[in-house]
Amino acid sequence: MFKVSQEMRLNTQAATSASTSTSSSSGLDGNSPEEGGIFGRYQRTPDADAYPSETPRVYVAPELTDAGKVQLLHFPSGAVRVNSPLGFIIKRNGVKGNFEVRVEGPSGQPIQPVRQQQLDPERFQIDCQLAAGAGLYKVHIKCNSVTLPRSPFIIVAIAGAPESIEGKPASSSGMFYQEKCTQVEIINEQWSVLVPTLDSDASRVQSRGLGLTHVSLVERNEFTVDCSQAGSNLLLVGVLGQRGPSEEVVVRHLGRGIHRVTYRVCDTGDYILVVKWGEEHVPGSPFSLSAD
Number of domains the chain contains? 3
Q: Is residue 59 part of a domain?
A: no
Q: Tell me, yes or no, whether 51 lies in a domain.
A: no
What confidence score (pLDDT) does residue 7 get?
A: 58
* Domain termination residue (choose one: 96, 131, 158): 158
**Do 155 and 139 form a contact (C-beta atoms < 8 A)?**
yes
Percent helix, percent strand, percent coil in the chain, to nearest 5: 15, 40, 45
Q: What average pLDDT does the chain have?
A: 75
CA-to-CA distance for 240 and 221, rounded, in angstroms?
A: 14
Q: What pLDDT digit, counting tens, does each position of 12-25 carry?
A: 565 545 555 554 54
Give the whole-angstrom CA distance, residue 106 versus residue 42: 74
State the DSSP H helix or E strand holding residue 137, giving kind and residue range, or none if neither.
Answer: strand 135-143
Cis status, amide bond into 56, omega within 30 of 0: no
Phi/psi at 99 (5° precision): -105, 140
Is 286 domain-assigned?
A: yes
pLDDT tens-digit readout, 163-203: 443 444 444 444 444 455 555 455 555 444 444 556 789 89
CA atoms 89, 91, 97, 100: torsion sign: negative
Cα distance between residue 260 and residue 269, in whole Å: 24
Same domain, 151 and 184: no
Query: Could you tell me if 89 and 181 lie in one domain?
Result: no
Residue 37 is classified by DSSP as E
**Domain membership of residue 237 as a residue range:** 172-291
Q: Please answer whether residues 85 and 114 qualify as being in contact, where contact means their C-beta atoms are separated by less than 8 angstroms.
A: no
Please indicate, yes or no, if residue 163 is contained in any of the structural domains. Answer: no
242 domain residue, yes or no: yes
From 158, 181, 214, the end of a domain falls on 158
**What is the mean predicted confidence (pLDDT) over 226-243?**
88
Is position 118 within any domain? yes
Residue 222 lies in a domain: yes
CATH number at residue 72: 2.60.40.10
